[in-house]
Amino acid sequence: MASPKIILYTNHNCPWAHRAHIALKELGLVYEEVIIDLTKPREPWYLDVNPRGLVPSLSYNGTIITESAIVAQFLADAHPSHLVPPSGSVDGALQRAQIAFFVDTFLSKVQPHVHASLRASTAAEIDAAADALVAAVETELEPLLAAWKGPGPFFGGSDRLTLAEVLTGSFLLRILHYSDARIGLLSARLPALLERTPRFKRWAEATVQQESVNFIWDALKSANAIKAKLGITR
């Protein structure tokens, strides 16, 4: 297959757009990057690319694909790799379904507690959000992680990154870094609490150590962007 012409419209502070970077890097695809300033109203030319005005948008040989999960899945489907098995067999379909369920569980049960912490106005509320986050990891994710068969740290026990980490890695970076004292968006108690969820801790730490996950990451910049957006002064 000839190398596709890829343009990624993105912003490095957006965890959704970040998913496309992980997928592109993991697949070894060459791409041109166009940074969209999310602090200003979108310019008309960008609304022509993506009428919703969101990032990421992917131009793939001239066809526009939007919505981060759809972009990442598209890249993984179009370029068969270790990220996800092909559809079309029961085993492949089942693994795809299990990855989708795992990501859905992370986003619907765990991630909301990060948002609760960002919305919090007192130290007690920030601590409560961390407690709730770790409780959700314990109840919802640890049983799924316990069922992994392989010895590796990634989805299912794989020793290479999968689509599950492509779709969650940018959020894991924030969970592991936003409790830093210089940032303070998550409770300083969170690292100690995560000792209670060793499978999650191993998975999250292995994921954020991958270059494909962290190569555009700047903890302070991303934290400052979210603080500015939400008017957080702490």
Residue 1 binds its own copies, judged by CB under 8 A: yes
- Minimum gap (Å) between residue 69 Cβ and its own copies: 8
Nearer to its own copies, 69 or 132 (CB): 69
* DSSP string for 143-200: HHHHT--SSSSBGGGBSS--HHHHHHHHHHHHHHHTTSTTT-SS-TTHHHHGGG-HHH
- Minimum gap (Å) between residue 12 Cβ and its own copies: 23
Nearer to its own copies, 52 or 221 (CB): 52
- The beta-carbon contacts of 47-55 under 8 Å, at least 24 apart in sequence, are 49/9, 50/9, 54/16, 55/9, 55/10, 55/11, 55/14, 55/16, 55/17
> How far is the C-alpha of 33 from the C-alpha of 24, rounded, in Å?
11
CB within 8 Å of 201: residues ≥ 6 apart: 194, 195
- Minimum gap (Å) between residue 97 Cβ and its own copies: 4
- Minimum gap (Å) between residue 127 Cβ and its own copies: 27
Residue 96 binds its own copies, judged by CB under 8 A: yes
Stretch that binds its own copies, among 22-30, 38-46, 66-74, 200-208 (CB under 8 A): 66-74
Residue 60 binds its own copies, judged by CB under 8 A: yes
Using CB under 8 A, pick the residue from 33, 37, 43, 78 that binds its own copies.
78
Using CB under 8 A, pick the residue from 43, 89, 123, 228 that binds its own copies.
89
Residue 62 binds its own copies, judged by CB under 8 A: no
At residue 198, what are phi and psi to the nearest 5 degrees? -65, -35
